[in-house]
């Protein structure tokens, strides 16, 4: 029997507040919930073993950061078993959405059920085991979710696909790239990264400013070598940019950052308050089908 991967390090349990004012209605567009393991077992053959990352800990994170909304993303260790992700969204409430993992053969009835439970996108994993789909399967999946106006969220190293625009551009749904497209920080001139920027400019894609530690060659924040990638993304389409914590930061090999430091990266990258609001509030509200602000200053789905 193959030994399972050793447990990953847990997230910092004492997230600090960021150093800039976070606007009301801000959304963490990329987080995971793990466990309890006896209720939500991990898939065999996975690449990592996360520690439990509970709803209570995630609520504490959002309160510490001053955020009200979130998107729970199905991690690779659960494969197509979306129960943990969907149960989390059901408990967290109407200000939360899910991104799920499904096979291309998923039924229309199941997609409708998932939509009713808060799903607004399907994640395609091209980096880790437990949720892979070949690029040739993407069109079938995209056609299945297009009537629901969902998106495809891609965990992929764009630098490995110089023909990314030709491969993905014809798909009939929006594309969302995790972690700046997951290249190395030196990929600013890489054809695949440039192709992702072209998809952004053509309003075919969105990019998450998340997982800077997965891209950087530096060990600790502020990961200065990532800035050129961020600036290129912001220049391409600031109305298609999102921010995500990537909490609880599974499978990273660098020192565990504090989430306040990670949100402060956004404050460092984006000095304009109106643009930060667009990234944290307005852009996620459009992509994830959130409601707006009412006359009392409250947000509703």
Answer yes or no: 225 catalytic: no
Quote the tokens at residue 5: 């991967």
Q: Where are the domains of the chain?
A: 27-287
Whether the CB-CB separation of 101 and 73 falls below 8 Å is answered with no
Quote the tokens at residue 247: 């909490």
- Identify the pLDDT of residue 296: 39
- Identify the pLDDT of residue 4: 86
Quote the tokens at residue 10: 């847990």
SS (H, E, C) 101-156: CCCCCCCHHHHHHHHHCCEEEEEEECCCCCCECCHHHHHHHHHHHHHHCCEEEEEC
Which stretches in the chain have pLDDT values below 50? 128-132, 293-301
Q: Which fold has domain 27-287?
A: TIM Barrel (3.20.20)
- Identify the pLDDT of residue 129: 41
In angstroms, the CA 268 to CA 243 distance is 13
Torsion of CA 250, 288, 264, 85, to 10 degrees: -20
Q: 26: closest CA among 59, 62, 61?
A: 62
Which residues, in sequence order, are bridge partners of residue 299?
A: 293
Burial of 98 (0-12, 13-18, 19+ CB in 10 A): buried
Spatial CB neighbours of 134, under 8 Å, sequence gap ≥ 6: none
- Identify the pLDDT of residue 135: 66
Torsion of CA 172, 177, 178, 183, to 10 degrees: 140
Q: Give residue 297's Cα distance to chain centre.
A: 27
- Identify the pLDDT of residue 9: 95
- Identify the pLDDT of residue 203: 97
Q: For residue 170, how many other CB atoms are within 10 A of its CB?
A: 11
Quote the tokens at residue 238: 């600031």
Catalytic-role residue among 174, 246, 259, 264: 246
- Identify the pLDDT of residue 45: 86
Whether the CB-CB separation of 256 and 263 falls below 8 Å is answered with no
- Identify the pLDDT of residue 126: 74
- Identify the pLDDT of residue 35: 95
- Identify the pLDDT of residue 3: 78
């Amino acid at each position: 029997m193959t030994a399972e991967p050793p447990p990953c390090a847990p997230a910092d349990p004492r997230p600090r507040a960021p150093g800039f004012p976070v606007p009301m209605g801000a959304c963490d567009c990329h987080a995971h919930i793990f466990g309890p393991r006896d209720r939500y077992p991990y898939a065999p053959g996975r690449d990592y073993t996360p520690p439990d990352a509970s709803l209570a800990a995630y609520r504490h994170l959002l309160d510490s950061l001053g955020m009200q909304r979130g998107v729970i993303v199905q991690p690779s260790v659960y494969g197509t078993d979306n129960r943990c992700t969907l149960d989390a969204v059901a408990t967290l409430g109407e200000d939360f959405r899910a991104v799920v993992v499904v096979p291309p053969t998923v039924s229309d009835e199941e997609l409708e059920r998932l939509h009713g439970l808060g799903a607004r996108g399907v994640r395609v994993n091209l980096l880790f085991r437990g949720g892979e789909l070949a690029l040739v399967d993407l069109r079938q999946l995209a056609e299945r979710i297009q009537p629901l106006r969902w998106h495809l969220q891609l965990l992929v190293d764009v630098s490995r696909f110089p023909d990314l625009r030709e491969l993905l551009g014809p798909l009939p749904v929006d594309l969302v790239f995790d972690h700046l497209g997951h290249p190395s920080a030196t990929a600013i001139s890489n054809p695949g990264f440039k192709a992702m920027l072209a998809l952004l400019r053509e309003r075919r894609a969105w990019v998450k400013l998340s997982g800077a530690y997965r891209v950087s060659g530096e060990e600790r924040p502020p990961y200065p070598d990532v800035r050129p990638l961020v600036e290129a993304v912001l220049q391409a389409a600031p109305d298609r940019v999102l921010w995500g914590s990537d909490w609880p930061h599974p499978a990273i090999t660098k020192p565990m950052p504090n989430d306040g430091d990670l949100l402060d990266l956004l404050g460092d990258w984006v000095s304009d308050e109106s643009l930060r609001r667009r990234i944290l509030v307005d852009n996620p509200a459009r992509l994830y089908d959130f409601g707006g602000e009412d006359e009392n200053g409250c947000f509703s789905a």
